[in-house]
Amino acid sequence: MTRPVYRFAPSPNGLLHLGHAFSALLNLRRARAAGATMLLRIEDIDTARCTPENERMMLEDLEWLGFEWDAAPRRQSEHFDDYRAAIDELASEDLVYPSTMSRADIRRTVERAVDDGGSWPCDPDGAPLYPGDERELDYHARRAILAGASDYALRLDNAATRARLETPLNWFEEGAGPNGETGWVDTDLAQWGDVVLARKDTPASYHLAVVIDDAIEGISHVVRGRDLFHSTSVHRALQQLFGLPAPVYFHHDLILDETGRKLSKSVGSTALRHLRVAGATPADIRRMVALEE
Ligand code: GLU
């Protein structure tokens, strides 16, 4: 039997907080119990928000917590060629198309539809499904967008993808989804609409990069927050399109603030470095996230 591989995959776009500490420590606990390798991945495809300074602070906080990794971290910004090759593969199979509506265009279109008495479906993250119709454009019109000066996003053609997938497509959930889903869970790709997989200036969105990296690094077990539970439908679809293996997933509880909201990187009071300056020790942090040894 090969050794399982786990990973913690934070984005250095702000300070690590108690929610990250919980996710990282839970990953480590499960990895050690399974005799697994534990990796760190730096998810910094958003190079505007993921700065070297943020990364430095993130690594320092993790070191302070006591983390040692079984290999050097993989930094996504150094692997854009891998994502470009993947998106090219989907483009050659006509499963992605360039779309030109900006976020503001999308909002206006959706508002108009709602004002006219209709409703508009949203994806599990609360974003309206893409209302544009460029998926209908022919080869030459697509080439013109790709070669033009305007921005574009490459979107997955959801209907064409679903027609291609072998179903049922599912994953094994060792944790639980928002409604207690556990064990074998069926994917629901339709709920995501034509999700963005890349942009003109970045060859990958989170969904594309995470799938490629999990495969390249041989990740067998993904332990991450429940807010990413529904994204697993997109990830499983991409894994099947690329012929990649499916990890086992464990979606864990989110640590919430006093008002019941998910912790955000801009909320200072739970930032690990602020707690450290205030005198907390790594053992205190483990107690605060209820993961003391
Ligand atoms: N980079 C993501 C985050 O910081 C986690 C991605 C994952 O674990 O799949 O929320």
The pLDDT value recorded for residue 97 is 98
What spatial distance separates the first Cα and last Cα of the chain, rounded to whole Å?
Answer: 28
- Find out whether the beta carbon of 9 lies less than 6 Å from any atom of ligand 1: yes
Q: From the CA of 41, how far away is ligand 1's center (Å)?
A: 9
Distance CA 187, CA 246 (A): 12
Tokens, residue 118: 């209709």
Residue 222 pairs with which residues in a beta bridge?
7, 249
Tokens 């990413």 belong to residue: 228
Residue 261 binned pLDDT confidence (cut-offs 50, 70, 90): confident
pLDDT (average), residues 103-108: 95
Helical H runs in the chain? Answer: 18-33, 52-65, 80-92, 103-115, 139-147, 158-164, 206-216, 231-242, 272-277, 282-288
Distance CA 193, CA 145 (A): 21
Residues 12-29: tens digit of each pLDDT: 999 999 999 999 999 999
Q: From the CA of 11, how far away is ligand 1's center (Å)?
A: 7
- DSSP sequence for 220-247: -EEEEEGGGTTHHHHHHHHHHHHTPPPP
pLDDT (average), residues 186-199: 98
- Find out whether the beta carbon of 210 lies less than 6 Å from any atom of ligand 1: yes
- The 153-156 sheet, strands edge to edge: 96-99, 153-156, 196-199
Confidence check: pLDDT of 3 > 90: yes
Residues 133-171: tens digit of each pLDDT: 999 999 999 999 999 999 999 999 999 999 999 989 999
Other C-beta atoms closer than 10 Å to the C-beta of 182 total 14
Residue located nearest, by CA, to atom 6 of ligand 1: 9
The pLDDT value recorded for residue 219 is 98
Q: What number does the ligand 1 atom closest to the CA of 41 have?
A: 1
Q: From the CA of 96, how far away is ligand 1's center (Å)?
A: 23
The pLDDT value recorded for residue 293 is 62
CA distances from 33 to 29, 116, 164, 292 (A): 6, 56, 38, 15
pLDDT (average), residues 210-216: 98
Residue 192 binned pLDDT confidence (cut-offs 50, 70, 90): very high
Q: From the CA of 66, how far away is ligand 1's center (Å)?
A: 20
pTM, whole model, 2 decimals?
Answer: 0.95
Tokens, residue 278: 């205030």
- Find out whether the beta carbon of 254 lies less than 6 Å from any atom of ligand 1: no
Q: How many residues does the chain have?
A: 293
Confidence check: pLDDT of 266 > 70: no
Helix, strand, or coil (residue 218): coil
Furthest-apart CA atoms within the chain: distance in Å: 62
Q: What number does the ligand 1 atom closest to the CA of 224 have?
A: 8
The pLDDT value recorded for residue 269 is 72
Pocket test for ligand 1, best of 15, 74, 210, 219 (most atoms within 8 A of CB): 210
Pocket test for ligand 1, best of 30, 228, 236, 255 (most atoms within 8 A of CB): 228
pLDDT (average), residues 241-260: 91
